[in-house]
Chain A
Amino acid sequence: MSNDRTIALRVNGRDERATVPAHRTLLEALREIGHREVKSGCEKGDCGACAVLLDGMAVDSCLTLAWTAEGKEVTTVLGLGDLDALHPVQEAFSEGGAAQCGYCTPGIIIASKAILDENPNPSEDDIRVGLSGNLCRCTGYTKVFEAVREAAATLRGAESGR
């Protein structure tokens, strides 16, 4: 396409490039360059499955144009931790049974990370509000809330040197 532009993205601490037109969303651009860990659920900002951290803030990548992410730090769920080194949030979700079909999970884990970055000791309400943009059809959220609390406790413990 005539208005394609090559943009420099920094994804999970690595420099990457994507050649995309102006209307391409960050979700599409990330998936095009291989970040299949970012999931597409509605492409309208209704479900939160595509959430990533953009300079530390959780955003729906389907509502973010790829060009506007240039020069910013993008973190996907895989940027938090990988199979051999799970992030405490990922570990809490995995061990607590908070992922069922798992399709909403990358977005929910990103949103959970954003909650805990903002407030290491969130209340039940803080967690609910922080996850209100992420739909899940499998878990009924109960185990998701438990996993976030569990991760919060682990992270606080790590911080205080326990």
Chain B
Amino acid sequence: MNAPATDPGSLPNVRLRQVGRPLTRTDAPGKVTGRTPYAGDYVMPNMLHMRVVRADLASARLVRLDVSKARSLEGVACVLTGDDLPDRTASTDIPGQTGQKRLDTGQQILVKERVRYFGEALALIAAETRDIADHATELVEVELEPVPGVYDPIEALKPDAPIVQGTTNVVAERRIRKGDVDAGFARADLIVENTFRTPFQEHAFLEPEVGLAWVDENAVVNIRVSTQVIEHFRPIADAIGVPHNRVRIRGALVGGGFGGKEDLTVEVYLALLALRTGRPVRPEYTREDSFVGHGKRHPFVMTYRTGVTRDGRITALDVEMVADSGAYVFLSPYVILYALVAAPGPYRVDNLNVHARAVATNNMFTSAFRGFGALQACAAYEQQMDEVARTIGLDRMELRRRNFLKTGEPISTGFVPPSAIWTEECAERAWAALGDPTPAAGPLRIGRGIACYQQSYGRLTFLHDTSEAWVGVEMDGTVVVRSGVTDIGAGQASALGQIAVEVLGVTLDNVVIYNSDTAVTPLAGTTTATRALYMTGNAVKQAAEAVRARLAERAARELGVAAGDIDMAFNEVFVADHPERSMPFVELVRICGAEGIHRSELVMFRAPFTDFLDPETGQGQAHPDYAYGAHAVEVSVDVDTGEVEVLKSIAAHDVGQCINPAAVEGQIQGGAQNGQGYALSEEMLYEEGRLVTPSFSEYLMPTAMDMPKVECIVLESRSGVGPFGAKGIGEPAMTPVAPAIANAVADAIGVRVFEMPITPERVVMAMKRHDAAG
């Protein structure tokens, strides 16, 4: 191992008794019994039901919108159109926690004149029942006049292309210029150039957009909603024209997010209707509403030009990336920034040019999705590595070994990650675990592939990210954690509990975690960007340590030793070297209570703060740190039908330190499903911007029949910047999966499919073209 294991904790006596164990998550019993209420499970008396009327063209002028019949239908309480919301827009930018300057990224809440994507909201209806709301939507008369649109980002860059909004279709552009690319290419023995295409992807969380909004006795708009980001209360307040302290988001356990509940979804609609009617309002979103109502993963077109010596050293890399931003900006400028930083992957490239653009089209807007641009880059750089290896006749693993970044070396932006870089260890382990090859039989060809990655964890450092948490001990020795963090299914809340009990020496069943409420839990920031454990985990750890230090100091006096000799575990407090000299934790807490010793602490954890990357060279620090790992697969390809089956799926990641290994494996295995669907079957088909696959019977994600058992190899360098040396696994779990599968398919059939998803049709076509070319 090439990196030193770092000190696992700042407290000498913390020996990781609970962290690192697969404890049953605090949220599990409620979920397996159905007792857990999700945001859509709340009802209130006198509640109204909301439906959204949507445009059925992607590019059009709104000629007439007549809601009079809908308004006069019995049981309809309110109908809102763009005319009712003069000049109101909703911010589509990152919810800033420290007042960062925002891009000019407002979106009309309801269409006023111009429809820019299929499904854009025209009107909101609130009615006594869902049936009445449904009926009222049919009574809305809409006349749309088609306007020429543009549906391909490459087309949208042409000089005569229709402009979606403003003066240019280029909504964001970023560059890296490092070293001397011309000199690097001059030194190369071979130059390999390929263009890779990646598709739209739908998050497909099982819980659609749900919630309930009402105005309370203090004129505060309360919104119970399924969201990854409770800090949206600020843009919501701006959008509806009330002060920030008059919007309260009460989250709930989220039925899946993956980035799809990172932007605003139904919050502004609900808030507007609740304010207008003075009554509680819940959304009635169908699955089709969900498909057309939230942003998708950016499709990318990526051209990689790699200069390489015959012995497999990369001498230069030139990358051109174009991302389809869809009709509104949303998080596109940041998504291409992630792609830019990730462009060369976990490899040393001293001579590097990257040019990344996000381009507007009249497609569905695109925004956050697990992997956030860095995943699309991985899909290209890892396929390119295989193509380079094939071209120079070198083993794929050997080419990677000769170019891997090592611990202490700078990444694309010149920044040296503070943690270990264990890509090679992960790759070797995953590759070896594939074992003996499955024999080919009949029309089935067997192929293997690997992909390695670099993925950030923690938000962009120029956003000056912070996270707060409060930890307190009750008089009976039970522990309370309060933090605004949202739990989107990965066990974010339970992990915080596990950290707190580790530090305080109690057991997980003695902890209650309150989270996800802007009024009663300290703001922890978003559950996005693989940041929740890193940021809020650190905040909880520090808060618990502060409480522990005060308790230990008092215990030391009681037991007649120095505070540094006190240890705490499993509800007992004792002298580290003499565990027989002990007292129950609860007794210590009672003494502290009686003496007024403070048993709680509020902590704000701050990520590193930096400037923007240099706009010309792209050099500087973009993220706090990076995670590394690899995914290996074996596939069979039926050369008659083009069907691909994944036979083995093996993930190896350096997670720094597991908090809960079962949760880590769960993330990895779920990421394998997301990535496999992305590679092979998940396809959003659009016709002139109109989505023609808005259901789970048309948009095909892997089922129990399609997924192999996913094997997890979890390495712990204990070198990360998260609590106890943890890194993050949320996004990394998915990032390398699709290119590993693409490489395995190419290995099986001897020809590459350059566009995902690798459907049977594309496989057959690629083989035909290959045969025709001889």
Contact = CB atoms under 8 A, between A and B. Distances in A.
Contact of B287 (A37, A44, A81, A82): A44
Given A42-B695, A78-B35, A137-B673, A129 B705 contact: yes
A140 B671 contact: yes
Nearest to B36: A102
A77 to B, nearest CB: 4
A83 B34 CA distance: 9
Interface string A75-91: 01110011100100011
Contact of B490 (A41, A78, A100, A135): A100
Given A36-B41, A47-B696, A142 B31 contact: no
B683 interface: no
Contacts of A141: 669, 673, 704, 707
A6 interface: no
Given A36-B37, A37-B35, A44-B287, A102 B672 contact: no
Nearest to B491: A100
Nearest to A104: B206
Given A47-B696, A132-B703, A100 B666 contact: yes
Interface string A15-29: 000000100000000
B22 A97 contact: yes
A97 B37 contact: no
Interface string B17-29: 0000010110111
A109 B32 contact: yes
Nearest to A79: B34
B286 interface: yes
Contact of B33 (A21, A78, A127): A78
Contacts of A129: 705
Contacts of A135: 204, 206, 696, 701, 703
Given A39-B206, A83-B35, A101 B253 contact: yes
B98 interface: no
B704 to A, nearest CB: 4
A135 to B, nearest CB: 6
Interface in A17-62: 21, 36-44, 46-47, 49
Of the listed residues B32, B40, B206, B207, the one surrounded by the most CB atoms of chain A closer than 10 A to its CB is B32
B489 interface: yes
A159 to B, nearest CB: 21
B704 A132 contact: yes
Given A43-B287, A103-B38, A144-B704, A81 B33 contact: yes
B33 A86 contact: yes
B32 A137 contact: no
Interface string A90-115: 11011111011111111001000000
B596 interface: no
Contacts, number: 176
Contact of A103 (B28, B205, B674, B696): B205
Nearest to B712: A142
Interface residues of B, number: 57
A103 B255 contact: yes
Nearest to A97: B662
Contacts of A128: 704-705
A134 B35 CA distance: 20
A137 B206 contact: yes
A128 B255 CA distance: 23
Interface in B1-59: 22, 24-25, 27-38, 40-41
A90 B670 contact: no
Contacts of B41: 36
A39 B707 CA distance: 24
Nearest to B674: A137
Nearest to A77: B34
Interface string B248-272: 0000011111100000000000000
A124 B17 CA distance: 35
Nearest to B130: A28
A148 B608 CA distance: 44
A14 to B, nearest CB: 15
B566 interface: no
B486 to A, nearest CB: 11
Nearest to B253: A102
Contacts of A47: 206, 287, 696
B108 to A, nearest CB: 29
Contact of A137 (B258, B697, B710): B258
B34 A100 contact: no
A102 B255 contact: yes
Given A44-B287, A99-B31, A137 B704 contact: no
B672 A140 contact: yes
Contacts of B34: 36-39, 76-78, 105-106
A9 interface: no
Nearest to A82: B33
A1 interface: yes
Contacts of A132: 703-705
A43 B697 CA distance: 12
Nearest to B490: A100
B128 to A, nearest CB: 11
A1 B129 CA distance: 11
A119 interface: no
A139 B206 contact: no
B208 interface: yes
B588 interface: no
A104 to B, nearest CB: 5
A99 B34 CA distance: 11
Contact of A136 (B25, B28, B206): B206
B577 interface: no
Contacts of A94: 24, 28-29, 31-32
A91 B31 CA distance: 11
A142 B707 contact: yes
Contact of A105 (B31, B257, B669, B673): B31
A93 to B, nearest CB: 5
Contact of A143 (B37, B204, B665): B665
B28 to A, nearest CB: 4
B527 to A, nearest CB: 12
A131 interface: yes
Of the listed residues B34, B256, B695, the one surrounded by the most CB atoms of chain A closer than 10 A to its CB is B34
Given A37-B35, A93-B32, A138-B666, A103 B206 contact: yes
B461 to A, nearest CB: 29
A101 B701 contact: no
A137 B670 contact: yes
A72 B312 CA distance: 69
B697 A46 contact: yes
Contact of B669 (A40, A46, A109, A140): A140
Contacts of A83: 29-30, 33, 35
25 contacts: A39-B207, A41-B207, A43-B287, A44-B695, A78-B35, A82-B33, A83-B33, A86-B32, A86-B33, A91-B32, A93-B28, A94-B28, A94-B32, A97-B24, A99-B28, A100-B489, A102-B253, A131-B703, A135-B701, A137-B673, A137-B674, A141-B673, A142-B709, A143-B662, A143-B669
Interface of A: 1, 21, 36-44, 46-47, 49, 76-78, 81-83, 86, 90-91, 93-97, 99-106, 109, 127-129, 131-132, 134-145
Given A42-B695, A135-B206, A143-B662, 15 more contacts: A39-B207, A47-B287, A78-B35, A81-B33, A97-B28, A101-B206, A101-B253, A102-B27, A104-B206, A137-B670, A138-B490, A139-B670, A140-B670, A140-B671, A142-B709
